[in-house]
Copies of this chain bind each other. A is one copy, B any other.
Amino acid sequence: MYEQVRALIEREKILDPKRAVLVGVSGGPDSLAMMDILNRMGFQLVVAHLNHGLRSEAEADARDVQRMAEARGLPIIVEKEDVEGYASMHGLAIEEAARIVRYQFLFRQAAENNAQAVVVGHTADDQVETVVMHLLRGCGLAGLKGMLVRALPNNWSRDIPLVRPILACWREDVLVYCKQHKLQPLLDSSNLDVTYFRNRLRHELIPYLEEYNPAIKQILWRMSQVLTGDHQVLESVIEKVWKICVISQGSGYVILDTNPFKKHPIGVQRGLFRKAINLLRPGLRDVDFNCIERAMAFLLSPTQTGQIDLIAGLCLFIENGQLILADWEADLPLRDWPQVVDEKPAILEIPGKTGLSDDWLIITELVSDLDSARIQAMENDDPFQAWISMDCVQKPFQVRSRQPGDRIQPLGMDGHSVKLSEYMINVKIPRRAREGWPLVTTGEEIVWAPGIALSHPYRLTASTRQAIFIQLSRIGNG
């Protein structure tokens, strides 16, 4: 086992002999044998032991681990945490809470001790159990590949890796090593408690599977090895495509270009969605099949509202060929949509230019002495341009954003008035753009909502004599 671990560390270059290593030691055979081997190999170890406060022997165990470390002249940190309290506070299963509290402790200590890595004693048996657990819960390649010998788990630390040097060693060989080197591992009675899911796998399910194939553990371990390689290839493809597709990403949002996105095979598309979710929700563990398939279906045919709630407070929507995954509250870039910056209404310059923001302005021209022939010849198909009759206008034109109670009588609806807020949804104005959308008003009335509707009373008729030509323009686009 010593040789196997040494060869792995050298071949994969997973640990630097010149820098400290934080080694998590429960005192059980796995972590004890691992500590012994790394110590013999000459690594600078800092031992860390967490008392989970769950078992009566826990205090004694902590003292025993301390003694084992000190016998080797190794520095040791022992801490105690209230795992049960953490579990009930966060509504977690005890196993899950213990896992979180333990890793938080190990990575905190690694940072404080300037260690190059956190090292833990997962064995090949643990790997098989992990794979089976993922299989039962449902997973893709990322779950089936199991644990990595060296991983940078970004939910614990940005720069300290988690290293598992005995991941290729079977528990059987660990016990032989302990015996040969006269190590006296602690017994963890909770390892036999089959109310814990993992223990049930270990003591019941895996032995049952061995009746179907006695080599099942070797088979699943090898499968995880092969799939680790396959997963790496898939991830590198997704990474390349991601770089092509990503338009921008910021606090709480990711914007991707749908065109290159859709050109790639379904496996890559799923991977891009997984990556986007993972970027915004790095700790999220249960990004399941349904979530990704809903995203895929939405991409193929967006819903009527133009958006869906995807997962964990993230919504997905499409705007102008851009696929956006964002927090509900994300501060998305709004340059693509006309927006009024000032809270107070601005006077509309007639004729002239009225700036709305750094990006948008309204331009007006005044046209007098119209006659019905001229009016009939006028054409306009651009919803961001309009002819507005000035004949009946009493009050000055203003530009403002919407207010509660705003209504409009869209042209062609025979003067029937509708709620502006609902009408904006009907004409698919993106939710995040609605609040600041510019409106041209006179008094309390909306005259023109650019891109949405001209108000019926302000349309040109055969008798109109004075009018303005108005257009909303992007600065720089003329």
List A residues at the B interface (Cβ < 8 Å). Answer: 135-141, 144, 200, 205, 208-209, 212-213, 215-216, 219-220, 222-223, 225-234, 236-237, 265-268, 270-271, 289, 292
When distances are taken between beta carbons in the complex, the residues of chain B under 8 Å from A140 are 223, 226-227, 230
Report Cα–Cα, A222/B293, bound state, in Å.
10
**Which listed residue (B135, B137, B270) contacts A229, Cβ 8 A?**
B270
| Distance of A183 from chain B, by nearest CB (Å) | 31
| Distance of A392 from chain B, by nearest CB (Å) | 56
When distances are taken between beta carbons in the complex, the residues of chain B under 8 Å from A232 are 265-267
Q: List the 8 closest pairs (A to B, CB-CB), nearest first.
A: A229-B267, A138-B219, A233-B267, A222-B289, A229-B266, A230-B267, A140-B226, A136-B213
Copies of the protein in its oligomer = 2
Report Cα–Cα, A232/B232, bound state, in Å.
15
When distances are taken between beta carbons in the complex, the residues of chain B under 8 Å from A227 are 140-141
Residue of A209, A219, A222, A229 with most partner-chain B CB within 10 A: A229
| Distance of A268 from chain B, by nearest CB (Å) | 6
| Distance of A71 from chain B, by nearest CB (Å) | 39
| Distance of A311 from chain B, by nearest CB (Å) | 16
| Distance of A245 from chain B, by nearest CB (Å) | 15
The answer to whether A223 touches B138 (Cβ under 8 A) is yes
Instruction: Take A137-B219, A138-B219, A216-B136 as given contacts and tell me if A237 and B233 are in contact as well, using a CB distance cutoff of 8 Å.
Output: yes
Report Cα–Cα, A212/B212, bound state, in Å.
17
When distances are taken between beta carbons in the complex, the residues of chain B under 8 Å from A222 are 138, 289
Report Cα–Cα, A232/B271, bound state, in Å.
13
When distances are taken between beta carbons in the complex, the residues of chain B under 8 Å from A212 are 136, 200, 205
